Structure formats: structure tokens, C-alpha cells
Chains A and B, each alone.
Chain A
Amino acid sequence: MNPPRASFFSQSWLILLLGLLFGGALVAVHTNLSPVIAANQRAETLRQLPGLVLPAAELAGAEITVSGDRIAVRRASGETLDLAVAESEVAGHQLYTLAAAGGAPLGYVVRGIGSGYADDIDLLVGLSGDLERLTGLFVLSQKETPALGDEITKEPFRRWFTGAPATAPLVVVKSAAEAESAPGRVLALTAATISSRSVCDIVNATVAAVRPQLAAAASAAAPAEEGETDGGR
């Protein structure tokens, strides 16, 4: 019999060698791929931003590319719109401020998370530059019932959020006539009222939390126009 130490090495040298070999391979994979993966994760969200701020007509057939803090929107006509994104956190919500390169904010996109019917719903909601209107909705992740609740990701439901007033909470209604009668109404999906209501609740909570702070920041930035309000605080 070998002494214990020699025996340990004779038994396990293969595993130690493999460990070193595999460790090296993993380090190589990690250093090469982790920037790509991080960029993928960011681009996934940033790619949605133009559609949540700009009118749909401006984006018809447009191609969106993301690089760093810049989003390039190449329209079908060939002209390119260059957008700058600034990321910050307001009232616990991720906020993306979208501006034309070197210009004033075009609009804001806020991320909201809340519970849906099956699991948490993670969504982005667009706010116009003057904070008066919602400009769009995009669902990042959800696990609602297939073909019923998951219709919240589709255009017929999302369109109720485009152009709705941001000043008052959205109201969920069950008839199309009622939904069309006034702005700020959302028509509930058939057989998925809870999913529809969950989305509205998340949007309402997100907007209510973020909008006052954004308004305060905007009025602080322009004291000449809103001096009265500023003094009041």
C-alpha cells in the first residue's frame, strides 16, 4: 500500500488535471462571451424604447439598432433618427429618458413589476415628454394563461394605453362601447379580466409613483416658467 498522500495524488490527479483544464476553458468562454451577453440583456430592453415613445406611424418598417447608449432608428425612407438614452432610477422604478441626440427629452419609459394572474408581470410604459399622456405599453415578461391572459402582450390590448391620459388612473371596463366613450378606459380581455386589471394596476401604480417626481424635476429645471410651484414647495 502507498502512503496516504501518494495514494491521494495517484487517485485524483486526473480530476485535478481536468479541473484545471475545464477551469481554463470556462475562463476563456467567460471573458469572451460575457460582454456579448451583457449587451444582449440591455439591448433586449432598449430596442423596445422607440416604439413606446414615438408614434407608430413614424416607425412603420423602421429598423432599430442599439449600440451603447445610442439607439439608431433607420426608417424605410432611408433617413436615420439618432436617439440618446439615459438610465436612472426614480421612486424604485427603472427610468429611461429618450432624447433626440443633443436635444430635449422626447419622452420617458418606466419599468413596472407587479403580480399578474399566474406570476409577476414585468412591463415598460411610455410617458410623453410633457408627462400628460401615456405613449405605449410593452410587456417584457409574463406567465399568464396561454391564448387568454397572454393576449396582454398583443396590439389589440396594448393600443388602449397609447394616448391615454397620464393624469388620472386608467379604468378597466368590460364593453367596447364604454371603452371608446372616453379616454383613459381599457377594454378588458375576454375571459382574462384579472390579467387585464393586473396590467392596469401595475401601470397606474408605476405612473403614480414616478410622474410627480419627474414633474418636480422638470419644474426645477425650468424655474422661470414654474417659479410659483417651486416656491410653494
Chain B
Amino acid sequence: MAVAELELPAAVDDGPTAAERFIAGILPENPTFRQLLGMCPTLAVTAAMKPALTMVAATAFVLISANVMVSLIRHLLKPHLRILVFTLTIATFVTIADRLLAAYLYPMSVALGPYVPLIIVNCIIIARCEVCGSKQGPFTAFADAAGNSLGFLIGLGSVATVREILGMGTWFGLPVLPAVVPRWVIMVMPPGAFIALALLLALVNWYQARPKRRAEV
């Protein structure tokens, strides 16, 4: 949240369109790589693709529902009580997502454990409610939430891909590396999460810096 509070003022500007919001969420303002939001699930559930994607789906459900809901009631919000309303809305939708997972995707619910309820304190959601949901109409809010969900998918998906392939030699549980390639088991353990995310961030930074350097020359 510390990061979120620093990022917010810069991100607030006068009503971009739905399409702009959607695009911005995917890459230019990618929640994982550009804004460093939602680090906790990005590190915790990315040892394999399946739990990572389930996490993205649950987060997307909450993000879209909460953002649209907040947008619908934005004219009724009292400024000093808005965070309370956001929290109440998010916590409700997280409870619903948690129950739905336990009822229809039980193995994934067990695998994700406490990280499903921890979506409540995922800074991405409260940041989107604050930046977009509480200021713009429901359609823009939906596009914004969908774009950010896709951005989150890119973040979690890339970390999980690196970790699962290097760590277990599989992708979505299907073998992709020949058995002769040694498995880097450390990648599916906690330190591997930090290292994989660090190197991916470095890769993004390096890629970002390249065109700039060319322009300077």
C-alpha cells in the first residue's frame, strides 16, 4: 500500500476513455511490472500455472465486480467514508469468490488456501476503485478493471511460467522440458519467487530503457 499511495496522485487525471483505461491497464500501467502492486499473490501462488490462473480469475472477479459496484454508487459516496465503502464491497465479493471456489473448484481452493481471502488487501483493487471506479461511469470502470485484470494475468502468468518450467519442467502440469535438463527445484520454493520476479522486472526495465537510449543517440 505504501507504493500505491505514492503512485496514486500521478495516475489521477481527467477521465480517460474506456478504451484508454483498458489499454493502460494491460502494459503501460501494468499492475505487476510498472506499479509493483499486488506483490503478495505474485510471489505466493506462482509456483505453478494452475493456481496462478485460478488466483487471477478470482482477483478479476472481485476487481470487476467491486469497480463496477463502486462506480454505480459513486455519486452517493461521502469522501471521508469512501475507503470504508470500498473495503466493505471488496470484502463481500471476496467472500463470494472464496465460497464459489470452494464449491466448484475445491482442489484449487485448497491449493490457494489463505491467499484467496487475502485478495481483500490486494492493493490493485482498492487502487482501481480509488483512481477509476469512484470517478467514472460503470462502463469505463468495467473496461478499467478488465484491462488491469489482463495486466495482472500477464504479471502472474509470466512469473508462474518461468517458475514452473525451470522448477518442475512442466507447464500447466504438462511436461515441456526433456528429463535430461536438470530441474531448478529452488524456483518452486520461496526464494525462487523473489529471484524470478526480480529478473523479470529487470528484463522489463532493460527493455524500457533501450528505445530511450536510441532516441538520445
Contacts and interface: CB of A to CB of B under 8 A. Distances in A.
A36 interface: yes
Contacts of B85: 14-15, 18
Contacts of B188: 146-147
Interface stretch (B4-12, B74-82, B119-127, B209-217): B74-82
B81 A12 contact: yes
B168 A147 contact: yes
B70 to A, nearest CB: 10
Counting chain A residues whose Cβ lies within 8 A of the other chain, the interface size class is: 20 to 34
B92 interface: yes
Contacts of B89: 18, 22
A30 interface: yes
Given A15-B85, A25-B92, A26-B92, A147 B185 contact: yes
A141 B111 CA distance: 10
B103 A14 contact: no
Nearest to A147: B185
Given A19-B88, A44-B106, A14 B95 contact: no
Contacts of B95: 26, 29
B117 to A, nearest CB: 14
A145 B96 contact: no
Interface string A9-20: 001101100110
A18 B88 contact: yes
Interface in A121-180: 141, 145-148
Contacts of A36: 103-104
A15 B80 CA distance: 12
B198 interface: no
Contacts of B100: 29, 33
Counting chain B residues whose Cβ lies within 8 A of the other chain, the interface size class is: 20 to 34
Interface SS majority for chain A: helix
Nearest to A43: B106
Nearest to B101: A37
A183 B168 CA distance: 33
B106 A40 contact: yes
B103 A40 contact: yes
B3 interface: no
Interface in B5-55: 47
Given A12-B81, A18-B85, A33 B102 contact: yes
Contact of B92 (A12, A22, A44): A22
A145 to B, nearest CB: 7
A15 B84 contact: yes
B183 interface: yes
Contact of A33 (B88, B92, B99): B99
29 contacts: A11-B81, A12-B81, A14-B76, A14-B77, A14-B78, A14-B85, A15-B81, A15-B85, A18-B73, A18-B88, A19-B88, A22-B92, A25-B92, A29-B95, A29-B99, A30-B99, A36-B104, A37-B99, A37-B102, A40-B103, A40-B106, A44-B106, A141-B110, A145-B185, A145-B189, A146-B47, A146-B168, A146-B188, A147-B185
